[in-house]
Amino acid sequence: RKEVEQDPGPFNVPEGATVAFNCTYSNSASQSFFWYRQDCRKEPKLLMSVYSSGNEDGRFTAQLNRASQYISLLIRDSKLSDSATYLCVVKTGGFKTIFGAGTRLFVKA
Amino acid sequence: ETGVTQSPTHLIKTRGQQVTLRCSSQSGHNTVSWYQQALGQGPQFIFQYYREEENGRGNFPPRFSGLQFPNYSSELNVNALELDDSALYLCASSPRGAGTSTDTQYFGPGTRLTVL
């Protein structure tokens, strides 16, 4: 079993749609959680950190459920510019950072 | 932009050769991590350097080695290249010390290595 697993995708949605990404992690000792965005042939960029209380940044909402070892990202009112790969990232203390394989999102006009 | 640069942008090598990839971190960032990203996969952690010492390593063989220098630059060296080493190699720097699990990483644009 992979340490971090994401929906395989790709997701194809129309502009204005709401889309949800799911991620599970296997190590209950994991301490920090993030969502990164990666555009085609570019480096990953931090989208948002994920906290147990949930956090929101404009159209983006991230949730963490430690009991279920589950992380989610919700994008409301999708824009064409949201088309990218979304990477779930888990840090288990110190140096160890584990990326999921990513879920590709295509937003179409 | 993140202020993290990498060189070269692209590189083609043949099997069995050695390669050195370079990264220049933001000033003051004393932690650098290296990742390998194969096509269609997420980045895989290779190792991390903190204050010029390796302080953590992923599941990569010893032919993957690195160095970090006092001027916030670092290197990734790969010996005896194999076809499966073809990937995007990313470095990421962090402003705080190793062991800070909430530390944000700032990625460079990567070096795309092709092994023929």
Note down pLDDT in tens along chain A; length 109 residues.
Answer: 789 999 988 999 999 999 999 999 999 988 889 999 999 989 999 999 998 888 999 999 999 999 999 999 999 999 999 999 999 999 886 678 899 999 999 999 9
Q: Widest CA span of chain A, in angstroms?
A: 43
Give the pLDDT band (50/70/90) at residue B28.
Answer: confident
Q: A94 and B99 in contact by Cβ < 8 A?
A: yes
Of the two residues A5 and B51, the one the predictor is more confident about is A5
Q: How many A-B residue pairs are in contact by the CB < 8 A criterion?
A: 59
- How far apart CA B111 and CA B21 sit, in angstroms, is 7
Pairwise pLDDT comparison (B93 vs A1), residue with the higher score: B93
Judge whether B114 is closer than 8 Å to chain A, CB to CB.
Answer: no
Whether residue B98 is predicted with pLDDT greater than 50 in this model: the reply is no
Is the pLDDT score of B100 beyond 60?
Answer: no
Higher pLDDT, B78 or B94: B78
Is the confidence at residue B97, as pLDDT, over 70? no
Helix, strand, coil content of chain B in percent (nearest 5) = 5, 50, 45
A80 to chain B, any CB pair closer than 8 A? The answer is no
Q: Which residues of A touch B35 (CB under 8 A)?
A: 99
**Contact between B9 and B51 (Cβ < 8 Å):** no
Residue B102 confidence (pLDDT): 53
Per-residue pLDDT averaged across B79-88, rounded?
Answer: 97
Range among A50-54, B19-23, B54-58 with highest mean pLDDT value: B19-23
The residue of chain A with its CA nearest to that of B2 is: A45
Contact B72, B26 (CB under 8 A): yes
**C-alpha span between B44 and B37 (Å, rounded):** 6
Is some CB atom of chain A closer than 8 A to the CB atom of B109?
Answer: yes
Q: Is residue B101 pLDDT above 70, yes or no?
A: no
